[in-house]
Amino acid sequence: MNIILFGPPGVGKGTQGEKVASEKNLDHLAMGDILRAAVREETQAGLKAKTYMDAGKLVPDDVVVAMIEDKIVDSDASGFLLDGFPRNVAQAEALASMLAKHSLKIDRTIFMDAPEENLIKRLCGRLICRACGFGFHRQYSPPLKSGCCDRCGGELYQREDDREDVIANRLRVYQEQTRPLLDYYQHQEGFFKLDAGGEMDAVYAALNKIV
């Protein structure tokens, strides 16, 4: 089972995608996480990506396409879940030819959406564990001890690009470049639309049903 999850920043692709992937034994290929790891490791691609990411812009297609192809080819789980890739039509076209090359196909393409005011609230309050990457929210799912991860005790931080000015830019980039993917995918087999504006558990139940 191979899945694409796409939608605006803050819609819950990461949280919901991780849950589905671990339950179905799929590789969770989150493009943002892959890029942040490359930035931390100061690889050539990571150094190139950083300035784009800090500004809330898309990293050039050739960089992300090459990175995701490596991950797809290396995957030995019972499938993969793409979260945050593709993010524009050129990437979707590159993905289609990459999949054909490796005799793979996508079984579900799921578009998650929520009102913009929910997205902004979710992004502004988001906290991430520096050690294990687990996500919290200042209001909706605060850690038991302030600044400290419930799972591993690691330090919690706010992502550079979860600042209000950068969020505005990410949402603009989403409207201009990622939302057109809806036209690209919505008439293809296996396409589903998921209302992700509600409570986390209800959204997960709906997602699980689609999968």
Residues that bind ligand AMP (CB under 6 A): 9, 31-32, 35, 52-53, 56-59, 64, 84-87, 91, 161, 170
Q: Say which of 36, 108, 122, 170 is annotated catalytic.
A: 170
Active-site entry in 13, 36, 108, 122: 13
Q: Tell me the two tokens of residue 173.
A: 């980039």
Return the number of the residue (131 or 205) whose C-beta is nearest ligand AMP: 131
Q: Is 145 a catalytic residue?
A: no
Q: 19, 24, 138, 159: which is the annotated catalytic residue?
A: 159
What is d(CA 6, CA 167) in angstroms, rounded to the nearest whole number?
17
Contacts of 94 (CB under 8 A, 6+ apart): 61, 65, 86
Q: How many CB atoms lie within 10 A of CB 116?
A: 13
Establish whether 159 is a catalytic residue. Answer: yes
Cα–Cα distances in angstroms (integers) from residue 133 to residues 128, 130, 206, in the given order: 6, 6, 25
For residue 5, the cross-strand partners are 83, 110
* 170 part of the active site: yes
What angle, rounded to 10 degrees, do the helices at 44-54 and 61-74 form?
120
Closest to ligand AMP by CB, 46 or 207: 46
Q: How far is the CB of 145 from ligand AMP (least distance, A)?
A: 25
- Nearest distance from C-beta of residue 23 to ligand AMP, angstroms: 21
Q: Which of 36, 87, 108, 122 is catalytic?
A: 87
Q: Is 151 noted as a catalytic residue in this protein?
A: no
- DSSP SS3 for 95: helix
Residue 146 or 163: the one with the smaller Cβ distance to ligand AMP is 163
Residue number closest to ligand AMP, CB atom = 32
How far, in Å, CA of 41 to CA of 175, rounded?
A: 31
Is 40 tagged catalytic?
Answer: no
Minimum distance from residue 170 beta carbon to ligand AMP (Å)? 5
Catalytic residues: 13, 87, 126, 159, 170
